[in-house]
Structure 1
């Protein structure tokens, strides 16, 4: 059967790529800022991240599997939501105001916030459903199957991690947007410090407190890591058993990393200044992953010993 990539998600990936270029141009010509960060940096990061996610999802849905009518519907739903949500983020940037956590009472912003409140849970549930549908059937080779299942599971973890930002309802601040209008924000990504403080270049992650965008990033992009790993191992010509075990080890490592950076963020600890507990957890995780890689390569590529047949008695 000829593989046909899922067109709605593939088109969204193309649109996101074009949007990323447009945001990059806007970043260069529009010097406005929000909370000390370039106004167009957030739409740019959204466009790049969701271009990668949509392209990966489009490929996944091209794999022959049962229930394709349902997975196609779920993928199309995700594509539509991604298109709408990133469009709203861009429109808010054009208006010079915040796209998330914005509680201002102007009519357009109220529409944006209501749209997010509706579409984001639907997007989350669609991905949970995709992960479940593809977890209880056989398709492709074992290593690819494991990459798809674990990748979707990690993406769901990343999406769930994003809810931690909205749950910070006690985090309330009144600030001004790029046009000087007063805006009330409820929720946020920083822990222990206000949003908009000293941050890392490009990512904008806080360097003085915890940042809940980090586990969200790790979970969402672990999807691409395990899928690309499976593809790369196939090109290298490793045995199928070794490929499958390596994918499993790396997927578990990504899940462990998600857990480590989540606890780090929740404790208000910046990524670039890890404390003793975080360093110990990272060291243990690195040792376990290294041991897992050695185990996968030694057992997955071992040549089985030939079975001795009894010599017939004369």
Structure 2
């Protein structure tokens, strides 16, 4: 009896019924702001917490631009339940992200910090606006995520990639709330700052170029960054599998792609958790303890072995 080989999947993510225009306008605005911040970073040598003052709005404008495009795609997915509700969530997200980037850019122009700054009434009010906007964006992402869970795609691998990306993205966003608690030093000696990125050392010390992640202590921005961008990494990882399926027949089976996405998603979640633990222990990213290094090696095996077994079975 002859068998029919699985057909090659279409190498494209689901195309939105209609791209959300407010989010796309926001993404375009962030592209312009990124260029402006890059120019200002060259022209203005002032530093805030050991970094060029314009690096922070540059990083945030890039991140917000990427997020806006991803969210515009998400709320326009075909078959998404309650599209009007998703549109309202998009508008709230735009307002929240605009409020956040305006405060960050103003702080850079003023030569001061935006996050955790409660030194004056104005700084406290602006930090409150940022905190409220971040919380609103998280809630809107959760709302759209629930709509995505109620709107499965025909392909199981794509459905899993989308759902896993949303869930892990929400977790990554929520990790930012760990930074808002006052440190022991701040409780002992209040100096107008409540909250910190770094763990075990003060903010503003030596860090990785441009990123600024601490090289002397833990840094909660690392797991926040990794988890937040799961919404892009996991669906794009599936797209890569579909592109590779043109040459690798083993990847043409939907069950194989589904299992690989499942392994990758679980591995991504574990990596985010491990980076969170490392940061909370006060360990720099590039100088992990033997225990963290061992856990990373175990995680690598836990991902590579079932992935290899899945591919071998498919062949």
TM-score band w.r.t. shorter chain: 0.7 to 0.9
Q: Deviations over 1:223-271 (max 9, x none)?
A: 2110111222222333222222222211111101101010000000111
| CA positional deviation for 1:140 | 4.7
**1:245–1:296: 8 Å Cα contact kept in structure 2?**
yes
1:186 is paired with a residue whose SS is coil
Q: Deviations over 1:64-118 (max 9, x none)?
A: 12222222221222122112211211111111111111012243x2331221232
The one of 62, 67, 78 equivalent to 1:48 is: 62
The one of 99, 107, 111 equivalent to 1:92 is: 107
TM-score by length of 2: 0.87
Larger radius of gyration: 1
Q: Deviations over 1:182-206 (max 9, x none)?
A: x721111111111111111111111
Does residue 9 in structure 1 map to residue 23 in structure 2?
yes
C-alpha spacing 1:173/1:91, structure 2 compared with 1 (3 Å) = farther
2:102 is paired with a residue whose SS is helix
Q: How far apart are the structure 2 equivalents of 1:270 and 1:242?
A: 37
1:75 is paired with a residue whose SS is helix
Partner residue, 1:288: 302
Does residue 72 in structure 1 map to residue 87 in structure 2?
yes
Alignment of 1:1-314 (within 5 A): 3-64=17-78, 65-107=80-122, 109-172=123-186, 184-237=192-245, 238-239=251-252, 240-299=254-313, 301=314
Structure 1 residue runs of 4 or more that deviate by more than 6 Å after TM superposition: none
Ranges in structure 1 where 5+ consecutive residues have no aligned partner: 176-182, 303-314
| CA positional deviation for 1:119 | 1.5
| CA positional deviation for 1:174 | 12
RMSD of the TM alignment (CA)?
A: 2.0
| CA positional deviation for 1:298 | 3.3
Q: How far apart are the structure 1 equivalents of 2:63 and 2:178?
A: 19
Q: Which moved more, 1:142-151 or 1:255-264?
A: 142-151
**1:50–1:82: 8 Å Cα contact kept in structure 2?**
yes
